[in-house]
């Protein structure tokens, strides 16, 4: 994803339209390749309808609208392309092409291992003679990916924080029935949507565990029954195709069932590959039934269904006009979304509504304390003149993580209200953490100048100019030993 971002930026510059258009192109290409795979097992008209449902379904909209979801667009495109090449070509070169596709999919998102499993399953179901030769070639991309991963982040890269990360394994698994039910209901009724959901149900309850489990089992039982009917009524090839799509639906969602804690409880685009499997199962199962209605009615029904889903997706797209708007819409749906609360706090601060911003940042921190929400709380309090509260918030932020902006904000308070030697100790700690932070070096220069240590001030201001833009007048005054006064946070510093 980073490589694709760099290429887009190099060619088009920092224009969001370019990023969105390329991401849309990847998504449309994926839907087209999925249509070709559907067409291999279904009638072309039915394959087209299913592919169009996949294309416009609101549950997949985040893959297109959210630029950070580029990794999902990439990994699915490379993965589904690899499957299509595997199904249609049998030469040695084609096997290497499949391996290359899966390698690129893994580089995009490591859950692309699902497509490797599906490739092996496809060969086992339809072309068992090719399994051994394909396994030999698969070793190359898998080993290369593992080597790159170990070199970059190690095998056990730390997950991003979320409330579910605080639960033990059994507590996380208690959420699985509700997680699966979430995807079932949003697939059928994709009305209330959000970019992330953070609810947790760590203990057994009838409402959040037993009832979802019963519904999940009922839906699973329905598809098992349909599979049994497919086996009895349709050719073996159709039954194997049903098993293939069923496996795609199930295996694709397994990485997101919180065996390993993830950065949220559920996310809509995590169902992206599974939806392809579900639609394939529906297509195979529908082949059993002979519908005795006029074709025009079927066409009208398909148009209404696809059109309705498309309109809902278009409406969802309006939520992405700004981060603040998206956060407010998300919070209306996902009440526990501490990330949305944090974004709202940042937006309110930029609007000058500091009191309300502090309230949202505090709510976010109460749900899941993190460096970002405590930093936003500190900014809101600092802007409203509550420097003592801001200092406490910044120190809490540093307790949960490290961010240069926190040190910069806290540095302003230290300049205005700190006392030697504690403020010098603070800046030493800050500059050790971020040795190329221009603002921190500027603050150190001002502090040294205020204390009369001009030689140190000149070194610090030189470093500040080296690592970033600084006010030219400050640079000249310090380098030429010109005294000046500097207003900061309600106080005036005399720099000698």
How confident is the model at residue 156, as a pLDDT? 67
Q: How far apart are CA 423 and CA 443, in angstroms?
A: 11
The two tokens of residue 36 are: 């070709």
Asked if omega into 74 is within 30° of 0 (cis), the reply is: no
**Percentage of the chain with pLDDT > 70?**
99
How confident is the prediction for the chain on average, in pLDDT? 93
Most confident by average pLDDT, 323-332, 410-419, 480-489:
323-332
Q: Is the pLDDT of residue 396 over 60?
A: yes
C-alpha distances in Å from residue 7, one per residue of 13, 286, 298, 370: 9, 43, 44, 32
How confident is the model at residue 160, as a pLDDT? 59
User: Where along the chain do its domains lie?
Assistant: 1-157+290-316, 167-268, 322-401, 402-496
**Percentage of the chain with pLDDT > 90?**
83
322-401 and 402-496, same CATH topology:
yes
Give the pLDDT band (50/70/90) at residue 154.
Answer: confident
Q: How far apart are CA 123 and CA 125, in angstroms?
A: 5
As a whole number, mean pLDDT of residues 83-97 equals 93
C-alpha distances in Å from residue 492, one per residue of 17, 393, 487: 45, 24, 4
How confident is the model at residue 495, as a pLDDT? 82
Class of the 402-496 domain? mainly alpha
Which residues are CB-neighbours of 225 under 8 A, at least 6 positions away? Answer: none
Helix or strand (DSSP H, E) at 485: strand 484-488
Helix or strand (DSSP H, E) at 281: helix 272-286
Secondary structure letter of residue 309 according to DSSP: H
Q: Is the pLDDT of residue 218 over 70?
A: yes
How confident is the model at residue 245, as a pLDDT? 98
Which CATH number applies to 322-401? 1.25.40.10
Give the pLDDT band (50/70/90) at residue 78.
Answer: very high
DSSP string, 147-193: HHHHHHT-SSPPPPP-GGGGS-HHHHHTTHHHHHHHHHHHHH---S-
Q: How far apart are CA 173 and CA 201, in angstroms?
A: 9
How confident is the model at residue 151, as a pLDDT? 86
The total of other beta-carbon atoms located within 10 Å of residue 411's CB is 25
User: If we measure between CA atoms, which residue out of 315, 313, 371 comes closest to residue 338?
Assistant: 371
How confident is the model at residue 158, as a pLDDT? 57
Q: Is the pLDDT of residue 236 over 60?
A: yes
273 and 59 Cβ atoms separated by less than 8 Å: no
How confident is the model at residue 486, as a pLDDT? 87
The two tokens of residue 334 are: 């996902």
Secondary structure letter of residue 451 according to DSSP: T
As a whole number, mean pLDDT of residues 9-30 equals 95
How confident is the model at residue 451, as a pLDDT? 87
How confident is the model at residue 37, as a pLDDT? 97
Give strand pairing partners of 417. Answer: none
Residue found under tokens 């006392």? 419
Higher-confidence residue of 437 and 293: namely 437
Give the pLDDT band (50/70/90) at residue 294.
Answer: confident
pLDDT, one tens digit per residue, over 155-165 is: 665 555 789 99
Q: How far apart are CA 44 and CA 313, in angstroms?
A: 25
pTM to 2 decimals? Answer: 0.90
How confident is the model at residue 488, as a pLDDT? 87
As a whole number, mean pLDDT of residues 240-253 equals 97
Give strand pairing partners of 197. Answer: 266
Give the pLDDT band (50/70/90) at residue 298.
Answer: confident
């Amino acid at each position: 994803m980073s490589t694709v971002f760099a290429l887009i930026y190099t060619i088009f510059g920092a224009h969001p339209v370019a990023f969105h258009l390329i991401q849309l192109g990847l998504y449309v290409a994926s839907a087209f390749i999925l249509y070709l795979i559907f067409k291999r097992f279904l009638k072309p008209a039915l394959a087209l309808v299913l592919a169009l449902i996949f294309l416009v379904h609101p549950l997949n909209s985040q893959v297109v609208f959210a630029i950070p979801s580029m990794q999902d667009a990439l990994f699915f495109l490379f993965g589904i392309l690899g499957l299509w090449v595997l199904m249609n070509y049998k030469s040695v070169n084609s096997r290497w092409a499949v391996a290359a596709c899966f390698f690129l999919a893994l580089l995009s998102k490591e859950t692309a291992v699902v497509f490797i499993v599906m490739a092996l399953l496809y060969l086992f179901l339809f072309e068992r003679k090719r399994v051994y030769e394909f396994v030999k070639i698969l070793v190359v991309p898998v080993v290369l990916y593992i080597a790159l991963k170990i070199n970059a982040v190690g095998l056990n890269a730390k997950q991003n924080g979320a409330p579910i990360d605080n639960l033990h394994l059994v507590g996380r698994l208690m959420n699985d029935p509700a997680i699966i039910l979430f995807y079932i209901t949003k697939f059928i009724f994709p009305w209330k949507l959000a970019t992330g959901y953070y609810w947790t149900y760590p203990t057994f309850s009838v409402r959040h565990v037993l009832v979802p489990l019963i519904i999940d089992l009922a839906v699973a039982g329905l598809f098992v029954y349909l599979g049994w009917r497919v086996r009895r009524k349709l050719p073996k090839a159709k039954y194997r195709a049903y098993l293939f799509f069923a496996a795609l639906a199930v295996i694709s969602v397994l990485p997101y069932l919180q065996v390993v804690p993830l950065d949220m409880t559920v996310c809509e685009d995590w169902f992206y590959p599974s939806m392809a499997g579900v639609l394939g199962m529906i297509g195979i199962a529908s082949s059993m039934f002979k519908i005795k209605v006029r074709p025009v009615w079927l066409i009208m029904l398909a148009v209404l269904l696809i059109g309705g889903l498309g309109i809902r997706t278009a409406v969802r797209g309006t939520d992405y006009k700004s981060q603040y708007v998206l956060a407010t819409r998300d919070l209306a749906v996902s009440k526990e979304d501490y990330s949305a609360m944090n974004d709202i706090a940042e937006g309110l601060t930029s609007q000058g509504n500091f009191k309300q911003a502090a309230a949202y940042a505090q709510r976010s921190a109460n749900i899941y304390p993190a460096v970002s929400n405590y930093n936003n709380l500190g900014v809101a309090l600092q802007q409203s003149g509550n420097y003592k509260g801001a200092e406490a918030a910044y120190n809490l932020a540093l307790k949960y993580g490290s961010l240069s902006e926190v040190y910069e904000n806290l540095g302003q308070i230290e300049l205005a209200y700190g006392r030697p030697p504690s403020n010098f100790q603070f800046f030493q700690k800050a500059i050790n953490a971020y040795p190329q932070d221009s603002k921190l070096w500027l603050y150190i220069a001002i502090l040294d100048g205020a204390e009369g240590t001009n030689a140190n001030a000149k070194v610090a201001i030189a470093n500040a100019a080296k690592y970033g833009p600084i006010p030219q007048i400050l640079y000249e005054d310090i380098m030429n030993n010109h005294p000046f006064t500097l207003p900061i946070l309600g106080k005036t510093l005399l720099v000698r």
